[in-house]
Structure 1
Amino acid sequence: MEMPDAVVVGAGYAGLCAARRLRTAGLDVLVLEASDRVGGRTLTARLPGGWALDLGGQWIAPAHTRFAALARAYDAKTFTGHTQGDNVLVSQTSHRRFSGRLPPLPPHATAVLALALWKLDRLTTRTLTTAQAERLDSTTVATWLRRRLPVPQAHRLAEAILGAELSVDVASVSMLALITAIRGTGGVRAGTEAETTASLFVDGADGPARSIAAELGDAVRLDTPVTSIHDTGDDVHIAGVRAARAIVALPPPLAGRIHYTPALPAARDQLTQRTPMGAALKTCAVYDTPFWRGDGLSGLALDLDGPMTLDASRPGGPGLLCTLANGPAARRLTRLDPAERKATIVRSLVRGHGPRAAHPVDWHEKNWSDDPYCRGGYNAYFPPGVLTTVGPALRTPVGRVHWAGSETATEWAGYIEGAIRSGERAADEVLQAETRFRDRLVVPD
């Protein structure tokens, strides 16, 4: 039986960064990954000519300091996404060009939306009492929006934007969960600025993950699903391996599918049952050139009856219009057969970018809910009542088993940055927990 110091379950950014930190500390570490690739919820496809196309997470913002450190360490080049030109707000019956992050609304609707955003920002900066937290946790985002956005135009836009961010309909998420997520990005304004100033990776967002895996070499084992973990009290047994500690770097609902001996505490078990994955469908239409730029368009289109569209073209490469459909929109589209789904999305592209968008030369898509080792995206979400009852179990180790994954991050949860930070935090827990490892804590690069 192999006996590494630690075993990491999952080779997404969380698991790989945990393993990298443990390896840097001098530990013998093994990473077990169920799928045939590394990168988790990042996935890069290749176009003719070698151009990268991200079908999963892709952005890095100035505030993503740990992701930036990895990019520097592995010489992963980034570029600023195209933002020049007008954005577009479209529906089945309308087409409006605008500048700035939010589309123009009638003055009364703008005032109501601004007041609601101010109140939301205030909630993220306040220290909540237990009673306030419980009240917010029992209130859905949809209910809060209905109470504060009585103007239909403002209400519909807010639901569309927040639903896209949460990857689920706003009636399924608690206000406390939304506030916690916004707080983890530094507030409403900081989160918005991070998104509007984000960059992309020239060679794909999974590049640093692949570099870490290459550095770890044979310590990363693909096609190795973990179905059980036995904590003897003295060590952990996983897939024929015995180690001092284990880090499970999976989304909570997938971590809950593993059989644990002894059984998990009730709070941790209920947490994994009550945190479903969001729904996310990402597509990319490929064109010979980014023709919309010549029309003075940025490539950003908010379709109130369809997915959001973004320009993901690499410098000097073909034109890429990437669409993101989340929550109910993703579920509606994935129920269609592939040809009908493509036709529906292309109609949305035409609404936003004109008739030349009707004829992409190539097409790629990824339904993350169908991925057997992710089962959704961007991340797991917290329905009403979860955070204030079993939420503390999200990061609390159970015996010799520690938890990582973007959902467990205290900053930038739901982002690649959050996954990286969670893996490093779990690695530090392992180093602190074992007396013989404590003098090996690593200073971040």
Structure 2
Amino acid sequence: MHDVIVVGAGYAGLCAARRLRTAGLDILVLEASNRVGGRTHTSHVAGNWAIDLGGQWIAPTHTHFTALANTYGATTFTSHEQGDNLLLTNTSRHRYTGQLPPLPPHITALLAAALWKLDRLTTRTLTTTQAQHLDSTTVATWLRRRLPTPHARRIAETVLGGELSVDVASVSMLALITAIRSTGGIRGGIEAETTGHLFTHGADGPAQSIAAELGDAIRLNTPVTSIHHTKDDVLVDGLRAKRVIVTIPPPLAGRIHYDPPMPAARDQLTQRMPMGSALKTFAVYDTPFWRTDGLSGLTLDLDGPTTFDVTRPKGPGLLCTLITGRAAQQMTELTTEERKAKTIRSLIRGYGPHAAHPTDWREKNWTEDPYCRGGYSAYYPPGVLTSIGPALRTPIGRIHWAGSETATQWAGYIEGAIRSGERAADEALHTEPKFKKREIPD
């Protein structure tokens, strides 16, 4: 019998297993797919240059991820920031510097005031009544009330929807506030993706290193279908352990058969907490030619994808695009070639005819990934967080929950996944009598 079985070998599962192994426990990690890393997934283009099809950013405030990267010698570089950013629509192209795109002064004032109000909400202690009101209000409704100008509202909807990987009409204001609070404020989330660092050899490098340490304790191509739990032990597809940590996204965790069944709140939560939608592409060029035009590679397209320069030092030019929410769902209905053509049209609007001819093209549609079914994370529709939200991380007997969604800091990020796995490992250590004398070395 194992001490703990961990379901999922993303960063949450790997860090939970690593922590438990360090404490001397017998652990087993069961991963449904043929690789580790979860919602990080590093691939390579010609010349063996890394591209991150999944999560990729690490910021100075990501202290747990930074410590992990340092432990395993994973090198990073500062993402390119020099030059002008671009704001695109189907009919216009504007260069700008700073975080806010060029707008008439009165619209800029409205947008700044709305963002200030949103940031203030993240720092306030809300009463139960206030929380329920915000949870019943969609982000789209809140923005309509505070941004009567359509252009300013579209910018806010594009930025906030991109952060959540879902259309703002589908998520509650309380969920947005909770997400922003977990990053330390609006600026924290934006800066993590616009001024953060990238991994030279890919963001799943530390995950691969942990997996190498765990060795045979990880079983790939092993989807979990059932968990039978009693007051004495758990059976995970017939494998016995004292405790189990489930780290897969909530909607997928809800597909596991539990015996006895989950309490109503937990069961309903996994039914009402869907995954966001994200499509990520990479256009590869011989050089980052846009830099010679004084452009940063950051483009906010109100009718298309958001674009980032993710070129590795001395590597080929890499433009990464992110398409989220309803736009990603619509793109899924197209063929690969149609998706490529539509995305390149946006790149041409921003960077000219040179962008029409990438030397390579890669994409990852996370909504079609059978062991993720969306990205970047699951979200709370209106009314869910205040009613059954607490069930997200509350242990059920010998079953513990981890995964980026369960993090109280940096939820939806790799940093949050790491913290959640370590937290769940500590829960198992501190609540199982057999484990209580085990200590994790400093």
TM-score normalised over the length of structure 2 = 0.99
Give the corresponding residue for 1:345. 343
Q: 1: CA distance between counterparts of 2:63 and 2:50?
A: 23
Cα deviation, residue 189, structure 1: 2.6
Q: 2: CA distance between counterparts of 1:43 and 1:133?
A: 36
The Cα offsets for residues 174-230 of structure 1, whole Å up to 9 and x where unpaired, read as 000000000001112333333332000000001111110010000000000100000
1:204-215 paired onto structure 2 within 5 Å: 204-215=202-213
Matched, 1:326 2:339: no
Q: 1: CA distance between counterparts of 2:291 and 2:34?
A: 38
For 2:218, which of 193, 217, 220 is the aligned residue?
220
Give the corresponding residue for 2:195. 197
Matched, 1:385 2:383: yes
Matched, 1:148 2:146: yes
Segment drifting more, 13-22 vs 435-444: 435-444
Unmatched 5+ residue regions in structure 1? none
Cα deviation, residue 438, structure 1: 2.0
SS in 1 for 2:435: helix
For 2:168, which of 145, 167, 170 is the aligned residue?
170
Segment drifting more, 230-239 vs 388-397: 230-239
Cα deviation, residue 443, structure 1: 5.9
Q: 2: CA distance between counterparts of 1:178 and 1:92?
A: 28
Give the corresponding residue for 2:158. 160
For 2:287, which of 286, 289, 295 is the aligned residue?
289
1:10-21 paired onto structure 2 within 5 Å: 10-21=8-19
- CA separation of 1:204/1:261 partners in 2, compared to 1, >3 Å: closer, same or farther? same
Matched, 1:252 2:250: yes
Q: 2: CA distance between counterparts of 1:70 and 1:50?
A: 24
1:43-442 paired onto structure 2 within 5 Å: 43-442=41-440
Identity, in percent, stands at 74
SS in 2 for 1:390: helix
The size of the alignment, in residue pairs, is 442
Cα deviation, residue 287, structure 1: 0.5
Cα deviation, residue 232, structure 1: 2.0
CA contact (8 A) 1:62 1:197 kept: no
SS in 2 for 1:8: strand
Query: What amino acid sits opposite 1:226 in the alignment?
Result: V
Unmatched 5+ residue regions in structure 2? none
The Cα offsets for residues 143-201 of structure 1, whole Å up to 9 and x where unpaired, read as 00000001122111001111111111100000000000000011123333333320000
CA contact (8 A) 1:428 1:441 kept: no
Root-mean-square deviation (Å): 0.9
Q: Where does structure 1 differ by over 4 angstroms across 4 or more consecutive aligned residues?
A: none
Cα deviation, residue 442, structure 1: 2.6
Query: What amino acid sits opposite 1:54 in the alignment?
Result: D
CA contact (8 A) 1:231 1:400 kept: yes
The Cα offsets for residues 326-353 of structure 1, whole Å up to 9 and x where unpaired, read as 0011112111111111000000001111
Q: 1: CA distance between counterparts of 2:162 and 2:137?
A: 19
SS in 1 for 2:383: coil
The Cα offsets for residues 225-247 of structure 1, whole Å up to 9 and x where unpaired, read as 10000002200001231100000
Query: What amino acid sits opposite 1:305 in the alignment?
Result: D
Q: 2: CA distance between counterparts of 1:117 and 1:440?
A: 47
